[in-house]
C-alpha cells in the first residue's frame, strides 16, 4: 500500500495541481450554467473534495469562496452522518440541504453533496454550494433584518436525497421549486450544481485511471500533512504571547444596541489559539452565526495572515478556536443567521487587530466591513416578479506595503461585485451613480482604500426595498496608528424627501415608487501607520485625482496649497 511518505515531490505537485484543477473546473461549470447573477457574475459558490470518513476539506478550487472551505466540511459530515443512519451512501446518490446550523453560513446557500466511489468503495465526497437568489421566507432575497427565527428567513431543508442511485427524486425538486419566488432561476442553479458534480465524477475517474486510487489517496494525506507542517512553521516564526482586540456590530436589527465581538489571540510555540470569550450573547435578530461558520471564519482570517498556506484542513490542526456557548457566534437552531456575513467580517477585523500586535507587517487595517445586502423586489410592467438582490463593495485597509484597494469586495470571499450593466439589463432599475466616494478611506502613512457611492432609481411602478448592512455606527479602524474610515450611509427617497434608517444600517419594508431612488455610500478601509508619515507627493496626487478633498487633506495631513 502506498504511504503518504512514499510520494515523491514532483508527483505530489502534479497531483495537487490536477485535483485543484478538478475543483476549479467544477466552479467554472456552475458559473457558466447558473441562472442568477449572484452565482453567474459574483461567483458566490464553491466546490471541493472531502474526506470519505471525516468530511474534512481535501481540495478546494481557487475561484470558490474561502468561507466555504471550513463550513463545507461540516456540511459533508452532516451528510455522512445522515447517510450512515440510512444504511450508508450508494453510488449515484446526491444529498441537498440548506440548514445553516449544521452546514454553516445562511439558508440562501444551497448545498449538494455526492459520494464518489471507486471500484465499489467510497473514495471521497464531492460537494457544491451556491447562493440561490430566493428560497422563500418573509423577505425576497432572504436577507431579512427583522427576522427573529430561521423560519422568517427562508425555507429550511435538512439533508435529503435529491438523487437516489442516479435517479432524480422529482418530489424533492417540486418542494424546492414551490418554496421560491423565482423557480426558473432556482431550477437553473440546481441543474448547474448537478452538472458540476457530474463533471467532478468524470474528472476523478480520469485522474484515478491514470494514477490509481492508492497513489491519489496517499497524495491527499501527504498534502494535509504538509499543510500542517507549513502552518506550524509559520506560527513558530511569530513571538509567543497573548493579544486582545474588540470591535462592535451596530445592532441586531431588532434592538438598537451595539454588540461586542472580542478575541484573544495566543501563540505558544507552533500552536495558535483564538478565544472569543467576551463576545455578545446570542441576540434576537439575524446577526447570530452557527458554530461551523465561526470556525470557518477563523480559517479565512488565518489564510489572509498566512497567504502561502494551501486550502485544506491540515492548516487547522495546530489551531484551537474557542467559541463560548450562548454567544452569538454559536447560536443553535432556530436562531436567525441570515446576516452571517456582517458578523464574520467583524470576526476577521478583530483577528487582524489582535494579530497586528504580534506581526503588524502581516495584516492590513480594517476593510469596509459590510456587504450591504440590498434587495429591491416588485413586479415588472408585464406582471412578472423580480428580485434584485446584490451586494456592494467598499475600500480595503492600508498595509505596511501600500494604500488599500479602492472599491474591492469583502475579504471573506473571492466573489466579484455584479456589474452595473448586468443588473440594469436584468431588472427594472437604472444606476444614476456608481462612483468612488471621496474622503472615505482612513488617513495614514498608507491611506485606506475608497468606498463607493451607488444610487439606484426604480423604473417599475412600485417595489419594496430591504437593506442588511453594518458599519453605520462603528467605522472601520486603522492599524499601526492609522485613522478610521468613513461610516456606512444608506438613504432612500420618499415623496417628502430623503430619509435614513432608524437603525442606521438595517431596514425592511421601504416602499418605493417609480422614479424614487436609494443610495449607498459605503465605507472605505482604515489607514495604516500615522498620517504624519505619508509622502507629500502622495497627498498631492490624492487631492489632484479627487480621492481626498483639500479640506480633508488639510485636516488629516496638514496639507495646504499644494504643500
pLDDT in tens, 447-494: 999 999 999 999 999 999 999 999 999 999 999 999 999 999 999 999
Q: What is the pLDDT of residue 414?
A: 66
Q: How many CB atoms neighbour CB 303 within 10 A?
A: 18
What lies within 8 Å, CB to CB, of 214 at 6+ separation is 1, 2
Q: How confident is the model at residue 34 (pLDDT cuts 50, 70, 90)?
A: very high
In the predicted model, what is the mean pLDDT of residues 234-254? 96
pLDDT at 68: 81
Within 8 A by CB and 6+ apart from 323, the residues are 276, 291, 294, 295, 329, 330
CA distance 405 to 247: 22
Evaluate if residue 412 carries a pLDDT over 80.
Answer: no
pLDDT grade, residue 563 (50/70/90)? low
Report percent pLDDT > 70 for the chain: 98
- Does 290 have pLDDT greater than 80? yes
- pLDDT at position 485 is 98
Task: Look at residue 413 and tell me whether its pLDDT is greater than 70.
Answer: no
**Position 561 pLDDT exceeds 80:** no
Name the strand (E) or helix (H) holding 272.
Answer: strand 271-275
Average pLDDT score over the chain:
94
Q: What's the confidence (pLDDT) of residue 4? A: 61
Phi then psi for 32, rounded to 5 degrees?
-75, -30
494: number of Cβ within 10 Å: 12
Pairs from 168-175 (Cβ < 8 Å, separation ≥ 24): 172/96
Whole-structure pTM value = 0.94
Average pLDDT over residues 304-333: 92
Question: Cα–Cα distances in Å, from 75 out to 193, 244, 325?
Answer: 16, 31, 20
- The larger pLDDT score, comparing residue 303 to residue 156, is at 156
Burial label for 143, CB within 10 Å (0-12, 13-18, 19+), is: buried
Residues 333-355 have pLDDT tens digits of 999 999 999 999 999 999 999 99
Helix (H, G, I), strand (E, B) or coil at 327: strand
Per-position b or e across 171-198, b if 16+ CB within 10 A of its CB: ebbeebeebbbbbebbebbbebbbbbbe
Where do the structural domains in the chain lie, given as residue ranges? Answer: 4-229, 364-563
Supply the Cα-derived Rg of the chain in whole angstroms.
24
Cell of 113: 453533496
531: CB partners within 8 A, 6+ apart? 443, 444, 445, 482, 483, 556, 557
Structure confidence at residue 3 (pLDDT): 65
pLDDT at 6: 76
Amino acid at each position: 500500500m502506498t504511504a503518504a511518505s512514499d510520494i515523491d515531490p514532483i508527483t505530489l505537485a502534479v497531483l495537487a495541481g490536477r485535483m485543484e484543477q478538478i475543483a476549479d473546473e467544477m466552479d467554472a461549470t456552475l458559473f457558466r450554467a447558473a441562472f442568477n447573477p449572484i452565482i453567474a457574475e459574483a461567483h458566490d459558490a464553491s466546490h471541493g473534495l472531502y474526506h470519505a470518513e471525516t468530511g474534512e476539506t481535501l481540495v478546494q478550487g481557487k475561484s470558490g469562496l474561502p468561507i466555504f472551505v471550513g463550513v463545507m466540511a461540516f456540511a459533508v459530515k452532516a451528510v455522512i452522518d445522515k447517510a450512515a443512519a440510512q444504511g450508508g451512501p450508494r453510488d449515484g446518490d446526491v444529498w441537498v440541504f440548506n440548514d445553516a446550523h449544521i452546514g454553516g453560513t445562511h439558508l440562501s446557500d444551497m448545498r449538494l453533496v455526492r459520494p464518489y466511489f471507486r471500484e465499489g468503495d467510497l473514495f471521497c465526497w464531492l460537494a457544491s454550494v451556491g447562493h440561490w437568489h430566493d428560497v422563500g421566507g418573509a423577505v425576497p432575497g432572504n436577507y431579512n433584518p427583522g427576522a427573529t427565527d430561521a423560519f422568517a428567513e427562508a425555507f429550511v431543508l435538512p439533508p435529503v436525497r435529491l438523487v437516489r442511485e442516479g435517479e432524480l427524486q422529482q418530489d424533492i425538486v417540486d418542494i424546492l421549486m414551490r418554496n421560491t419566488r423565482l423557480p426558473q432561476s432556482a431550477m437553473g442553479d440546481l441543474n448547474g450544481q448537478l452538472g458540476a458534480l457530474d463533471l467532478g465524477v468524470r474528472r476523478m475517474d480520469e485522474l484515478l485511471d491514470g494514477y490509481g486510487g492508492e497513489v491519489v489517496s496517499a497524495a491527499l494525506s501527504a498534502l494535509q500533512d504538509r499543510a500542517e507542517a507549513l502552518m506550524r512553521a509559520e506560527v513558530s516564526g511569530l513571538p509567543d504571547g497573548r493579544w486582545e482586540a474588540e470591535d462592535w456590530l451596530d445592532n441586531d436589527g431588532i434592538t438598537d444596541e451595539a454588540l461586542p465581538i472580542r478575541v484573544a489571540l495566543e501563540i505558544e510555540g507552533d500552536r495558535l489559539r483564538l478565544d472569543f470569550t467576551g463576545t455578545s450573547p446570542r441576540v434576537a435578530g439575524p446577526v447570530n452565526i452557527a458554530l461551523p461558520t465561526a470556525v470557518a471564519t477563523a480559517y479565512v482570517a488565518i489564510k489572509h495572515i498566512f497567504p502561502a498556506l494551501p486550502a485544506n484542513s491540515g492548516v487547522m490542526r495546530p489551531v484551537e478556536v474557542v467559541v463560548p456557548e450562548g454567544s452569538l457566534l454559536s447560536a443553535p437552531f432556530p436562531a436567525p443567521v441570515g446576516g452571517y456575513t456582517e458578523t464574520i467580517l467583524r470576526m476577521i477585523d478583530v483577528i487582524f487587530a489582535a494579530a497586528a500586535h504580534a506581526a503588524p507587517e502581516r495584516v492590513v487595517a480594517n476593510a469596509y466591513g459590510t456587504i450591504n445586502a440590498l434587495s429591491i423586489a416588485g413586479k415588472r410592467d408585464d406582471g412578472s416578479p423580480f428580485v434584485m438582490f446584490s451586494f456592494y463593495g467598499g475600500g480595503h485597509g492600508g498595509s505596511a506595503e501600500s494604500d488599500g484597494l479602492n472599491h474591492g469586495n469583502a475579504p471573506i470571499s473571492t466573489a466579484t461585485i455584479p456589474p452595473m450593466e448586468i443588473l440594469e439589463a436584468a431588472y427594472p432599475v437604472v444606476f444614476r451613480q456608481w462612483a468612488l466616494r471621496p474622503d472615505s478611506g482612513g488617513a495614514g502613512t498608507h491611506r485606506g482604500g475608497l468606498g463607493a457611492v451607488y444610487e439606484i432609481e426604480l423604473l417599475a411602478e412600485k417595489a419594496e426595498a430591504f437593506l442588511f448592512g453594518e458599519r453605520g455606527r462603528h467605522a472601520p479602524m486603522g492599524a499601526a496608528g492609522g485613522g478610521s474610515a468613513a461610516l456606512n450611509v444608506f438613504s432612500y427617497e420618499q415623496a417628502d424627501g430623503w430619509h435614513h434608517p432608524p437603525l442606521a444600517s438595517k431596514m425592511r419594508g421601504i416602499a418605493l415608487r417609480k422614479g424614487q431612488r436609494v443610495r449607498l455610500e459605503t465605507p472605505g478601509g482604515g489607514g495604516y501607520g500615522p498620517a504624519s508619515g505619508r509622502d507629500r507627493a502622495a497627498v498631492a496626487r490624492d487631492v489632484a485625482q479627487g480621492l481626498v478633498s483639500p479640506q480633508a487633506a488639510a485636516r488629516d495631513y496638514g496639507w495646504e496649497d499644494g504643500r
